[in-house]
Amino acid sequence: MESLLSTSSSTQYRFPFFSSQPTPTPTRNPNFVFFASRTQLRAMATDNKEAKLWGGRFEESVTDTVEKFTESISFDKELYKHDIMGSKAHASMLAKQGLMSDGDRDSILRGLEEIERKIESGEFVWRTDREDVHMNIEAALTDMIGEPAKKLHTARSRNDQVLTDFRLWCRDAIDRILGSVKRLQAALVTLALKNEELIVPGYTHLQRAQPVLLPHLLLAYVEQLERDAGRLHDCRVRMNFCPLGACALAGTGLPIDRFMTSDALGFTSPMRNSIDAVSDRDFILEFLSANSITAVHLSRLGEEWVLWASEEFGFITPSDSVSTGSSIMPQKKNPDPMELVRGKSARVIGDLVTLLTLCKGLPLAYNRDLQEDKEPVFDSVKTVIGMLEVSAEFAHNITFNQERIRKALPAGHLDATTLADYLVHKGMPFRTSHDVVGRAVALCVSKNCQLQDLNLDEMRSISPVFDKDVYEYLGVDNAVKKFRSYGSTGSACVADQLDYWAAKLEINRSGNN
């Protein structure tokens, strides 16, 4: 109200109910509106906002609340490099098809290269009022080169543009994850080679079961990681099809060449159905599913190592460089990295569930809900790579306490199954041998001894089939030597497995013995 009550040298403003004098007509101030419609007031309040590139039919700007709620630039700027890649390919195709001049194409390409340089040097200003990475780059290009930039969006929608960017980003992300998978595999194989002859208890139901070579156990995780890598490879193959040119959902009547842009971006081919191209996110669901399975495998590895680092097991000692302490208990040394690997698997699984829930009720084709697909993917990739890298770091910094493990081996009658196999070799049916060895174990429990401590007379009191060669099967060392089936924990078989993985991962086997 201050402007209404102020005076000037020419006119004093008065209100009719304050005076009976006629109210003079005020001099018009072009920056002030006495009576305005709601539309005019809203326009005044948003004068500083840039007109949207899609705003031709709109008379009002969106409110600040709506703008803040709907923007995605805060997270999808991660796609800038792939957005520029796609735009370069699209501009080159438009020029070849006669939809823009070669001069305009060259201006666009130079402008995009300069924008990429500014982004990577930190000079580029990301604007929320430009909504997303695509509009930020296109608007900045228009500011830079003018009219030619307005031709870039010919025969293209943000729908197919974002899917092209996202497929390119996910493709690169898979390659990064595969590199991390290989590094963890190499760390586990190296650890196995350093402990090639070490026997450890194998568990089922977290109860002592049979003796196994430590390398055999470690290679189990290597095999799981190999299948994880296979799933990612398969996912990459299925996602490597190009949506660009599908436009909003129906394609275009302009003479574009989708095969040219697909080839330029390294895709296998364009997607066959334009509606499918912009509406489905199964490639992301498959990607996050593969990440979730990897995360579960890593969580199991983390759980095992956390258990083995405990005083109750004492099988491994992590170095100080991969351990943390307690703020109150000065004696504590915790394997925190692997606890967090176990914990962060929940995030990766949650990212998958988020996307499944997001997609489950959407009609064809594009819906704005799908803007929410990116943050879970970014989080999943970042988390899985972190889990893989810290697991490899942990593997490089643990020591197996061989003496502690050796002392722990006798407990649990781990050679019982091998003893049953001995009786099978003698012609006894396995179900009968199972019963005989069970009675032998019961005798050991009553005498508080191991199977190999029973004398031959005691064993023959259970079954006359036992002979003096039985002692070649008893004890964990003998038991491990008796395994011979393909894929078993037998020394020769594990040595072959180590040879295979050392060659595949290009590890110097002799240098790690």
Q: What kind and span of H or E run contains 399?
A: strand 398-400
The DSSP code for 16 is G
Phi, psi of 450, rounded to the nearest 5 degrees: -100, 165
Distance CA 211, CA 489 (A): 8
The Cβ of residue 423 has, within 10 Å, a number of other Cβ atoms equal to 23
- Long-range own/partner contacts, residues 314-321 (CB < 8 A, 24 or more apart): 314/401, 314/404, 315/200, 315/400, 315/401, 315/404, 315/405, 315/408, 316/398, 316/399, 316/400, 316/401, 317/398, 317/399, 317/401, 318/394, 318/397, 318/398, 319/397, 319/398, 319/399, 321/397
Give residue for tokens 């810290």.
390
Tokens (6 digits) for 340:
């967090």
CA distances from 190 to 82, 103, 201, 381, 477 (A): 37, 56, 20, 26, 23
Write down the number of H helices and E strands in the chain.
20, 6
Tally of CA atoms within 13 A in the half-sphere of 351 that contains its CB: 27
- Closest by CA to 47, choosing from 33, 35, 34, 57, is 33
Angle at 270 between CA 152 and CA 96, to 5 degrees: 40
- Is the separation of the CB atoms in 342 and 299 below 8 Å? yes
Residue 326 known to be catalytic: yes
Residue 425 known to be catalytic: no
- Residue of 205, 321, 327, 510 marked catalytic: 205
First-to-final CA distance of the chain = 87
- Residue of 233, 269, 326, 425 marked catalytic: 326
Distance CA 244, CA 116 (A): 21
The three state secondary structure string of 279-327 is: HCCHHHHHHHHHHHHHHHHHHHHHHHHHHHCCCCCCCEEECHHHCECCC
- Closest by CA to 422, choosing from 461, 457, 459, 455, is 459
Q: Are strands 199-204 and 269-270 parallel, antiparallel or unpaired?
A: unpaired
Q: Which residues pair with 211 in a beta bridge?
A: 201
Exposed e or buried b for every residue in 193-222, given b needs 16+ CB within 10 A? bebbebbbbbeeeeebebbbbbbbbbbbbb
Q: Which residues pair with 208 in a beta bridge?
A: 203
Give residue for tokens 């490597």.
240
Tokens (6 digits) for 47:
């004068």
Catalytic amino acids?
205, 326
